[in-house]
Structure 1
Amino acid sequence: MRPRKPSVPRIAALPPAVLAGGALTIGAGGLYLAGLLVAGGEIEDGTTVRGVDIGGLSRAEAVRKLEGSLPAAGLQKITVRAAGREDTVETRQAGLAFDAERTVDRAARSGLDPVGAIGGLFRSGGAVEPVVQVDEDKARSAVGKLAKTHDRTPRDGAVTFGDGKVRQVTPRTGFTLDQDASVEALRAAFERGERNAVTVLPGRETRPKVGADEVRRAVREFAQPAVSAPVTLTAGGQRFTVGPGVLGEHLSLRPDDGGRLRPHLDEKGLLATPAVAEPLASLPTTPKNARLGLNGDKAVVTADGTSAQEVTAKALGKAVMPLLTKSGAARTGEIATRTTQPDLTRENAARLGLTEKVSSFTVNFEPAAYRTQNVGRAVELINGSLVKPNETWSFNRTVGERTKANGFTDGIMILDDQYTKAPGGGVSAVATTVFNAMFFAGVKPVEHGAHSFYIERYPEGREATVAWGSLDLRFTNDTGNALYIEAQSTETSVTITFLGTKKYDEIKSVKGPRTEVREPERKVSTDKECVPQTPLQGFDVTVQRVFYDGGREVKREPFRTHYTPRDEIVCRSPEDTPDAANRASATNASGVEQSLFDLAGLGL
């Protein structure tokens, strides 16, 4: 180090001194000036920064020396603790370093102010702490990485069930690092330079709502007893057992607003599980009306109705929950069932007005396998229909869509004014029979439609067809009493009978003459799905429904029907010549033309 200049000559050059009371008294301004002259723009002797001596150096020399020496004197790593876990931070990556120029400014500053300058006349320099500079972007990036490692969300304690066993979830305190304060904590730690020290980074802890004590209480008081043994249940005379494994699948413990775990049972899920659903399947879930028949013209009950016993999810839960904290024989309970009575019973049949035959009608047809199945299925669905006063009965709603899934098969029906194959063919025989029973019962028609062309086995102007989604057969019961529909069928007939109380003495049908007669055409089809068809005239006809009461006519209602001609359809393959087709159609004893006549009896 360069030798400091002798101080005696500079003191000799000071202004005259005055001795008073044995002390040298110098004017304040003079002392300040003297101090500046002594300093001479250099760092005071004995000034050190982290053990690096910069005393007597010029500013520029001190800066250069510190820039070369300070990095090695600073911490390379800082050990930190956050949320109870330790980590290290590379100071360089965190943007922490010493600022040599500002450190020299700090060392020299004491010599520039009056107090420091005057004090410099009587003392030498000392240790000066270096100034720390922080690269904010790097520091925040480093702290952000620490947050990703040490931040954690709080976890509530919980209780779960699996395979009939209880599992506990340990609660965990959450922690969020205070990143702004952590940057300052790293800066301060770097400035202190204490090696082997641990810097605690500040943050905010979040306590779980459900603590360990609550978990232990819930296990002890509910969870463990709940799956300790099966429960035995009784419903509608059915007795069955539900094991711990099944119970656990539908049990849970949920925290309330106060952090207390409350038991919850998935009632709907438990009701649907096979262990519960299968024993309950034998219970009647829908009531069945009593069956009526005729003794002469009098209505009689042939089979009494049965009530339904329904087990609801709510009732199941109400029965099960109290059993779960019990033991031994006390884990047995009964499920309350909801009983639903049928609309028609032996006791109320007479009160409903179901006392006599109101009307009956039969349609005969040629036997065919598809017709037997489809007519029989429709009859099965209609039989026993109860139509209360002012209710409207619907064929389509009662019978449903004519699909294979609903019990119907492919048969012959009319589509676009010609016979074709489709599911439910032959059901119009049932529709026609219902229409006529309705006609002679005198009830109010709401919707009905005849076939597009006339079919010989049905009464002219008094027949009906149905089509799913487009044409229904509906009537409203305006008799003032209930109506019961009895439906029966054989391989060659269908009979529909209305039971109730007659509103009129008698109802007759009066058919008018055919009008607007139209001739059919002859068509040849090569469609592979072609169905032969015999020709028949089209015409209009009006049928009067005549009501009698007290032996006299009280009113008439007209039913007008328009039939299109039934064209002759001759089926042939594309290879057939026109001459061959003509010869086939002229033959009545065999071949295609014979098939046409056969189908006259096998249509809808």
Structure 2
Amino acid sequence: MRPRIPALAGIASLPPVALAGGALAVGVGGLYLTGLLLTGGEIEAGTTVRGVDIGGLSREEATAKLERHLAAAGSREMAVRVGERRGAVDPREAGYAFDVEGTVDRATSTGADPIGVIGGLFRSGGDIEPVVRVDEDKARAALEKLAGTLDTKAREGAVSFSDGRVAQVAPRTGHAMDVDASVDALRGPFLRGAADSVTELPARESAPKVTADEVRRAVRAFADPAMSAPVTLTAGGKRFTLSPAVLGEHLTMRPDKAGRLAPELDSEGLRAEPAVSDALKDLPRTPRNARLTAQGDRAVVAADARTGVEVTDKALGKAVLPLLTKSGTARTGEVDTRQIQPEVTRANAARLGLTEKMSSFTVNFEPAAYRTTNVGRAVDLIDGSVVMPGETWSFNRTVGERTEANGFVDGIMIYDDQYKKAPGGGVSAVATTVFNAMFFAGVEPVEYGAHSFYIERYPEGREATVAWGSLDLRFANDSGKALYIEAESTDTSVTVTFLGTKKYDEVTSVKGPRTGVRQPSRKVSTAEECVPQTPLEGFDVTVERVFRDGGREVGREPFRTRYTPRDEVVCESGS
């Protein structure tokens, strides 16, 4: 007898389809309950993350386990490369990290979802890719810092010369890291964690303009021939040879806009080389005017002029460069020289109006070694000066600063109304002589100044002194013709003569009386370089320059001078 199965309320009234569905629901429910019991947690069995098994663990257990393993994996440096340079990125400094919570979220089952639970009965979890979190600001900052060491500029191909030999520089492509793109490019390498791989970061390339082919062409076409042998040049009759070593010191090859290398020669530097300068030093670089002298009332040529010969840097370079690609005897050439003509020659002296003596004046002085040196040096610098019509002549510009380097020595001169030792002492004798030659030649004074107190050997009111940087002696040649200055000296005198064409028949001087006489005082000095000084009164005086032409007076010009008293200076020992 079969056991009796109690009837379930409502079963008999259900149609067959409903009964079938009910059976199915009971079966699914059973599987769901079975899945919940068998999983034993929230993560499917067999689930791994980078080889770490977290299957069957709860979220908390999986999180703790992954934090231990992923922390170590996330601290390994990533090897990177930009172009040919290598470096490393510390993930922690660059803001790359594994998101453990996010990874566990990805690995967990769908919780109470029946389909996910039931599906877990028939499969294992498999390997789950960890979630990567990137702090982009930190990553960008770290990569920008790294770019400073890995970026490379493009290196142009080049050709250089050293000690007569040719050197080549190979071109190189430049690389500049694309920081923004590199932030994303490092996600994959960080995720994979391959310690032995190198990641090439995205970079912008910059190609050199001068290619390897261009370097080879430049060497073949110019550099090798240039260093193959010396070149020999002739300039102004002087012959000299330049070795490859000397040439190479001043040769370069520079790229044009198209990246083609072209030779450049430092002609100025080459001109200064002893091989060149020594050979050309005897060439008369500056012209020399014909020397004139007074013969009675006429100006005559005492010595012929000399043409100057100039070898310019440009001419030297123009001669050298074409020879560098030649061979044998063809490496010989001529340097063009420039002829510099003198202003005054035997042929043009008369045409310039240098035909007669306009004036001449002599100043005598007591002999002293410093006067002989300083007066003689100033005379040498002044003698032969040519002043064209309308030009202004300057004592300071012609003579230069009175220094030891310029040939002058210390001597006695007036400074602050007192005699003192200073460079160029005695030159005022030359200035006074030039002033009087100018005075009697009738040309126009532009700048002049008398001594502060009167010196007995000079004409009252008709004398001049000079001081570098503060007082000059200048005159303008308003005679209408050229003017030539002849200067000469002895141990006790200096004479200056103006040659040209007289503007007036005669120029004379009329001196007025002394006025406003002022008495000197007495001073005692214990200074180590004290110079004794005799007393002399100070006074005012006016001298008139009188012009005569055609036998009659045609004008007067006053020259007014105020002299301060020359105090007596007594030198005493300070001990």
Shorter-chain TM range is 0.7 to 0.9
Partner of 1:131: 130
| 1:17–1:25 Cα contact (<8 Å) kept | no
For 1:62-461, list aligned pairs within 5 A. 63=63, 83=83, 101-109=101-109, 117=116, 120=119, 123-134=122-133, 136=135, 150-189=150-189, 191=191, 200-461=200-461
Partner of 1:542: 542
* Structure-2 change in CA distance of 1:190 and 1:440 (3 Å): closer
Letter in 2 for 1:414: I
| 1:158–1:168 Cα contact (<8 Å) kept | yes
Counterpart secondary structure, 2:407: coil
* Structure-2 change in CA distance of 1:365 and 1:117 (3 Å): closer
Counterpart secondary structure, 2:362: strand
Deviations 1:160-217 (A, max 9, x none): 2111111112222333444555554544345457797765544444333322222211
Distance of 2:79 and 2:98 partners within structure 1: 19
Letter in 2 for 1:212: A
Distance of 1:249 and 1:559 partners within structure 2: 62
Q: How far has the Cα of 1:81 moved from its partner?
A: 6.2
Distance of 2:492 and 2:334 partners within structure 1: 52
Distance of 1:244 and 1:17 partners within structure 2: 115
Distance of 1:272 and 1:66 partners within structure 2: 77
Distance of 1:488 and 1:552 partners within structure 2: 33
Distance of 1:197 and 1:422 partners within structure 2: 82
Distance of 2:507 and 2:69 partners within structure 1: 125
* Structure-2 change in CA distance of 1:28 and 1:121 (3 Å): farther
Query: Quick check: 514-523 or 61-70, which moved more?
Result: 61-70
Letter in 1 for 2:459: P
Counterpart secondary structure, 2:126: coil
Q: Which runs of 5+ in 2 are unaligned?
A: 1-10
Deviations 1:493-513 (A, max 9, x none): 221111111121112222233
Partner of 2:482: 482
Distance of 2:395 and 2:372 partners within structure 1: 18
Partner of 2:48: 49
| 2:162–2:245 Cα contact (<8 Å) kept | yes
Deviations 1:371-423 (A, max 9, x none): 22222222111111111112122222222222222222222223333333322
TM-score (norm: length of structure 2): 0.84
Residue 508 of structure 1 pairs with residue 505 of structure 2: no
* Structure-2 change in CA distance of 1:307 and 1:122 (3 Å): same
Query: Quick check: 541-550 or 456-465, which moved more?
Result: 456-465
Deviations 1:316-363 (A, max 9, x none): 211111111111111112222222211111121111110011111122
Query: Quick check: 518-527 or 339-348, which moved more?
Result: 518-527
Counterpart secondary structure, 1:488: strand
**Identical columns (%):** 67
Q: How far has the Cα of 1:267 moved from its partner?
A: 1.9
* Structure-2 change in CA distance of 1:205 and 1:470 (3 Å): closer
Q: Which runs of 5+ in 1 are unaligned?
A: 1-12, 576-604
Letter in 2 for 1:316: L
* Structure-2 change in CA distance of 1:17 and 1:292 (3 Å): farther
Q: How far has the Cα of 1:241 moved from its partner?
A: 0.7
* Structure-2 change in CA distance of 1:129 and 1:296 (3 Å): same
- The alignment yields a C-alpha RMSD, in angstroms, of 3.8
Letter in 1 for 2:464: A
How many pairs are equivalent? 557
Distance of 1:306 and 1:416 partners within structure 2: 45
Letter in 2 for 1:232: T
Q: How far has the Cα of 1:85 moved from its partner?
A: 7.4
